[in-house]
Amino acid sequence: MDAPPEPSWWLETYVEAARDLEMGQAYHPRAASVGAYEGPLWRFVEERVGEAYRRGLSVLEAGNGWYSGAYLLETMPTVIYILMRHGDDPEEAIVRAVNDTKDNDTIAAIVGAAVGALYGQDRIPARWIADLAGRTTDRDDGRVFELLQAARTRW
């Protein structure tokens, strides 16, 4: 893309793809505070994330509303919401994922992958990358950077 997608693109694209993949699976929230729900993940995301966005909730407020933990009905709404709110600013998106969610390692990894794929390494803050060892194991400093360069060269 030449420019960041509109916030609604994240929600609409996710819902469209997930609707075709879910195969009738019904989910139930783990947290009682979420309220009653039984149905597919895509519909939960469409309803809850859409409402949170219309209300202008912060990532923390929205995530607390459906509980941003390590369960599909918690992780995916949070990821999509962060991308809707901050998908135009990769640093802020990742910071919100790390600081404002309960399952922050998983959510930040997914958000980071999405904004990384959209913008590339150039939009990731240099100070975050500068001192990385680039390891794939405990004895191969720089190997990941060699692999990335080989992939760029090949594709």
pLDDT in tens, 95-118: 999 999 999 999 999 999 999 889
pLDDT of residue 126: 87
Residues 113 and 49 both lie in one domain: yes
Give a yes or no: residue 44 inside a domain: yes
Residues 120 and 141 both lie in one domain: no
Give a yes or no: residue 115 inside a domain: yes
Give a yes or no: residue 48 inside a domain: yes
Residues 144 and 89 both lie in one domain: no
Question: pTM of the full predicted structure?
Answer: 0.87
Residues 57 and 114 both lie in one domain: yes
Percentage of residues in the chain with pLDDT exceeding 90? 64
Write out the residue range of the structural domain in which residue 145 sits.
131-155
Residues 30 and 92 both lie in one domain: yes
Residues 117 and 151 both lie in one domain: no
Residues 84 and 117 both lie in one domain: yes
Give a yes or no: residue 29 inside a domain: yes
pLDDT, tens digit, 9 for 90 and up, residues 38-76 = 999 999 999 999 999 999 999 999 999 999 999 999 999
pLDDT of residue 133: 80
Lowest mean pLDDT, pick from 28-42, 66-80, 119-133 = 119-133
Residues 21 and 65 both lie in one domain: yes
Mean pLDDT of the chain: 91
Which position has the higher pLDDT, 24 or 5? 5
Which position has the higher pLDDT, 120 or 50? 50
Number of folded domains in the chain? 2
pLDDT of residue 11: 98
Which position has the higher pLDDT, 33 or 92? 92
Residues 139 and 63 both lie in one domain: no
The residue length of the chain stands at 155
In order, the DSSP letters of 1-62 are --SPPPHHHHHHHHHHHHHHHSTT--B--SSGGG----B-HHHHIIIIIHHHHHHT--HHHH
What is the sign, positive or negative, of the torsion defined by CA atoms of 45, 51, 57, 61? Answer: negative
Give a yes or no: residue 1 inside a domain: no
